Amino acid sequence: MPYPETFTGFQVNGPETWTEFHKNEFQPKPFGDYDVDIKIEACGVCGSDVHTISGGWGEQHFPLAVGHEIIGTAIRVGSKVSLIKEGQRVGVGAQSYSCLDCRQCKNDNETYCQKQLDTYGAKWPDTGIISQGGYSSHVRTHEHWVFPIPDALPSTVAAPMLCAGLTAYSPLVRNGCGPGKKVGIVGLGGIGHLGLLFAKALGAEVWAISRTHSKEADAVAMGVDGFLATSDKDWNLPHKMTFDLIINTANSFEGFDLDAYLSLLDVHAKWVSVGLPEDDGIKVRNQTFLSNGCFFGSSHLGSRKEVLAMLQLAADKGIKTWVQEVKISKENLAETLTKLHNNDVRYRYCLTGYEEQFGA
C-alpha cells in the first residue's frame, strides 16, 4: 500500500473563529531516517488546545490542527529507526523534537532542550513547515518522541496520559513522591485527576485540594486519602507544615491565596506549578517563603524514560483515566472545545472515530 504524501486534519484558521474547524489537506515535514508515520486512532483533548486556538497564549501559526495526546499505529518507519516497529500501537505527546545532543538531552532532560519543538504549531527550522497535531489522519514524528503503548492500556485511557499524565507524573517522581510522603494535588481537572491517580499508585498519602466540595465524591472514588476545600473557613490550619510535596495543576490564579497554600508545606518542601493560566499570574513575596523555607517551582512535560515508566506503572496498577469519548467531526470538535473552555468535563475528552472521517 502506498504511503500518504499529504495528511488531512481539522484545522482552525485563527482565534476569531476558533470553534470553526475545516477539514484540510496539509504537507507534513519531509520523511527522515529516524521518522515514524502514525495512522491516528484516538487523541485526547487538552486545555492547551483551547488556549492555543482561542488566542489565550498569544500569536500562533494558522491554519492549525491541534491535539497532542495521540494514539495510533506505526505504518511507516525510517531506515535508522530502532525504537519502534511497523504495526506497533504507539503514542505521541506534546513534544516532537529536541537536539538530543546537549547537556540537557544527554541527562534525560530533553523536554528542557533549548531547541525543543512542540507537536503542533512549531516551525520546523529546515523547511519552515508548521507542525500539525492529532486532530488529523496521521502524524510524522522522530522515533524518540514515539512511545510503544502497553497492551493493558486501552487507547482512550492511554492518550490523555501523554500530556496531562506526564505533566503530573514527572514532577511527582522527580520530587520524591512515594511511601511515607504526604502529597497534595491542587485542582481536579485533566492533569489533576491523573496526578491523584499516579501519586496514589506511587504509594504516597494523597490529598486533593479544590475550591469547593463539588468534586469530593469523584476524588474519593479515585482513592484519595483526604480532601481540602479552600472555600472552607480556616481550611489550611489543621494541615500546616505537614505536606512533603504539592503539585498545583490549577488553570487560574483568580482569588488564589498563595500564602495559605504554601503554609501547608513542611520545611524545604516543594510547591510545583504545572498549569499555565492565561491571566497575569501571581504576586510572590519573599516573606511568603520564610516560615517554612519552602521551594516554589515548575515542571515541563517529562523525558522519554519517564513516559515509558509512567505507561508501565499505569498498566501494572490498572490506572484508568476518567475519559469521555467523542467522535471526531467539525461539529463535535466545536462543541467539545467550547465545553472544555467552560470547564465542563469529567475529566478528559478523547477523540475517536478516526476511520469514519479519514478512511481506513
3-state secondary structure of 245: strand
Residue with cell 527522515: 32
Of the given ranges (28-32, 48-52, 57-61, 96-100), which has the lowest mean pLDDT?
57-61
Mean predicted confidence (pLDDT) in 226-234 = 97
pLDDT of residue 1: 61
Determine the average pLDDT of the residues in 134-159.
Answer: 98
Give every CB contact of residue 247 below 8 A, 6+ residues apart in sequence: 168, 171, 172, 183, 184, 185, 186, 195, 199, 272, 274
Whether the Cβ atoms of residue 135 and residue 26 lie closer than 8 Å to each other: no
Cβ within 8 Å of residue 331, ≥6 positions away: none
User: Over 90: is that where the pLDDT of 2 sits?
Assistant: no
pLDDT at position 282: 80
What does the pLDDT look like over 159-177, one tens digit per residue? 999 999 999 999 999 999 9
